[in-house]
Amino acid sequence: MKRKNIKVLSLFDGISCARQALKKAGIPVGVYIASEIDPYAIKISQKNYPFPEIIHVGDIKNVDYKDMQASFDLLIGGSPCQDLSIAKKNRKGLDGERSGLFWEYVRILREVKPKYFILENVASMPKEAKEIITKELGVEPIMINAALVSAQNRKRLFWTNIPNVTQPEDRSIYLKDILEKSVDEKYNVYSDNWRVERNTCDVNDKSRCLNASNYKGALNDGMSLIRIGQIGKGGQGDRIYSPEGKSVGLSALGGGRGAKTGLYLVGNVNPSGRGMNGAVHNSIGKSPTINTNKGEGQKILVGEQIRKLTPVECERLQGLPDNYTQGVSNTQRYKALGNAFNVDVVSHILSFIPDYKKN
């Protein structure tokens, strides 16, 4: 039996990860209308899905969807989270300028009356906001961590009326599995003011002897961020993680040296041979040693390199093909990827639509 082409309205479409998720789920698309205002995100979307594969209609607030009633099979979108996330101080919640756009989603949901809908947002939102969204949409959210299907620790809530959605199977993917073999020098981070956490062993050791203060979660849960050090005072963008675990969740904003991707100890020096403490070491030979500083007893790994992730690595974390976001500046690539859906999580949810569910 041939599957009918699905008609989709994607709000806050970004770089059209929902379109990519439909493709990955094997669901044929007939009409895909996207609402988005970021010109860089639209440029990335149009590069990968030129008109008429995706029809862009502009600002969610300026489009009258009443004429589209009963014409869509799926309404999907991730309303902005900036006023809900714990990362923002003095957050205004659903009354904020950005996260208040949730009410536009509700308006359009009622106008369009699609057969199915999905709304995505951060899992760290206040309890009150979660309860309001749940009441308005009439369904309880499902929390899915993208760490199950990728190398990224990214917890998100999904409100959907697609029935019987379960948790994805754990694919046991870690950051080391998606790293590029060779990257440009510009991604390296140099600082003479960094340290490894107390009681932390070399990441090359088989026994990852880290204590409870060195990571989030349990090492045997397969979902951990393994924090092994920090630069300076260790703000969110200056924390250093091991590629043996998961990456931090990609962010559209954020500061520090790691900014939108986090910092990672990749296990080799840069081409000039300059180590993190300013010493010169050969990248060929045995695994780097751990030296103990005098005074505080902090440890420094000699000859190891710290760097942020490349745009291609971030694309892999979000389940996108390599160079999907190519064509705009790296700054805009990071921003777009930080705002994006995880394609594999959304593809998993879409696979439960009864008309398209695989037997």
Annotated catalytic residues are: 81
Give me the DSSP letters along 22-51.
HHHHT--EEEEEEE---HHHHHHHHHHS-T
What are the start-end ranges of the E strands in the chain?
6-11, 29-35, 55-56, 74-77, 116-122, 142-145, 155-160, 188-189, 194-196, 215-216, 225-231, 239-241, 263-265, 290-292, 299-301, 306-308
User: How do 239-241 and 225-231 pair as beta strands?
Assistant: antiparallel
> Exposure pattern of 166-175 as b/e (b: 16+ CB <10 Å)?
eebeeeebbb
| 3-state secondary structure (DSSP) of residue 221 | helix
Q: 9: number of CA atoms within 13 Å, CB side?
A: 24
* Dihedral of the alpha carbons of 193, 198, 201, 203, in degrees to the nearest 10: -50
Asked whether 256 and 237 are in contact (CB, 8 A), the reply is yes
Tell me the C-alpha distance between 227 and 246, whole Å: 10
Q: How many CB atoms lie within 10 A of CB 64?
A: 8
Tell me the C-alpha distance between 246 and 156, whole Å: 16
Which amino acid, one-letter code, is at 333? R
Among 202, 265, 263, which Cα is nearest to 235's?
A: 263
Q: How many CB atoms lie within 10 A of CB 28?
A: 12
